[in-house]
Structure 1
Amino acid sequence: MSMDMTTAGDPGLLDTLQHQVAVFARRAEQTRLGGVGQVRNTMDRAAYLLLNRLDQEGPMGVKALASSMGIDSSTVTRQVAPLVDSGLVKRTSHPEDGRAVVLQLSPRGASRLDEVRTSRRQLMADLTHDWAPEEREAFCALLTRFNGALSARMAPQGSAEAEQPPVA
């Protein structure tokens, strides 16, 4: 359901919002928001999201992982291959169906994910060091809501990816 500009709000404010979102997207892509120090930019976004999902939801097959992330199986297969090669993800056989493959975070993957999370958490702390806690909370809530609306718009058939916040 789309609103016309009279019910959606002030066109000037909406112009500012769209401009700030565009600037954010460009800067996020340029810096990759990879964290701080030596860990900065050592893990790409796709790898981070895959490892994070396996950490949160536990071992699962390619189809389940793809569905959970709102992407197709071939993309997961392509993105997970280097993670398996580098020992961050283990491929094992399904306990009930030996032909099915289950992907799980390896101990090395869990350790790397923790390193990257810590580095990214520090970056967020640095960027918002002068914000009040309630400002951080409000920004998180609004950005989560904005991302949810964007996901729903991109996947109108109801398979919108609800990106889970990383577990601290």
Structure 2
Amino acid sequence: MPTSQDMTTELDPGLLDALQHQVAVFARRAEQTRLGGTGQLRNSMDRAAYLLLNRLDREGPMGVKALAAGMGIDSSTVTRQVAPLVDSGLVKRTSHPEDGRAVVLQLSPRGLDRLEEVRSSRRTLMAEVTDGWTPEERASFCTLLTRFNAALSARQSAHHAAGGGSSQGG
């Protein structure tokens, strides 16, 4: 089985350096702008809140453990990140339909409205940033970025399963 050192030497080191540099620049710019969208909604929802609300919208109500597992983060992190969303009325805590002792998190109507506002603003930003790209270039970039994120997630999951620590991001 080749080691990661073997794999790196088989590839173009200059290209790998350029790739890691561009990923670092992207991460810095994404954090600076928070890719928050345009207009008044720019930077109006932090990354953790957006990812939590988005997952609840796409997958429906779920418990903290399921939400944490799906996002690859600790339950304590989800609990901490959800608290302000509950306080602001974007997420509701309800009893589990089959086990009244368990708590289920659910996107509230207000949370859905807010999420849609932010999504619309972020769509506008993506259209502006990729202005001049063909539809095929946008689709290709999305496919490659999705694949890159999936590979990072799989690596992080494997590292976590091997006892390498916990994740705090999303």
TM-score normalized by the length of structure 2 = 0.89
In the alignment, does 2:129 pair up with 1:127? yes
Distance 1:154 1:53 in 2: 19
> Partner amino acid for 2:8?
M
Distance 1:95 1:105 in 2: 16
Report the equivalent of 1:142.
144
TM-score normalized by the length of structure 1 = 0.90
Q: Give the superposition deviation at 1:148.
A: 1.1
Match of 1:107 among 90, 103, 109: 109
Report the equivalent of 1:61.
63
User: Which blocks of at least 5 consecutive residues in structure 1 are unaligned?
Assistant: 162-168
> Partner amino acid for 1:38?
Q
SS of aligned partner of 1:43: coil
User: Which blocks of at least 5 consecutive residues in structure 2 are unaligned?
Assistant: none
Q: Give the superposition deviation at 1:26.
A: 0.6
Report the equivalent of 2:7.
4
Q: Give the superposition deviation at 1:48.
A: 0.3
Q: Identity of counterpart residues, as a percentage?
A: 79
Instruction: Give 1:14-25 correspondences, 5 Å limit.
Output: 14-25=16-27
Distance 2:34 2:8 in 1: 33
Distance 1:6 1:79 in 2: 41
Q: Deviations over 1:80-104 (max 9, x none)?
A: 0000000000111111211111110
Report the equivalent of 2:91.
89
Distance 2:50 2:9 in 1: 40
The count of corresponding residues between Structure 1 and Structure 2 is 158
Q: Give the superposition deviation at 1:4.
A: 3.2
The CA RMSD over aligned residues, in Å, is 1.5
Write out the 4+ residue segments of structure 1 that deviate beyond 6 Å after TM superposition: none
- By relative contact order (CA 8 Å, sep 6+), the higher-ranking structure is 2
Q: Deviations over 1:108-160 (max 9, x none)?
A: 000000000000011000000100111111111111111111111212139xx
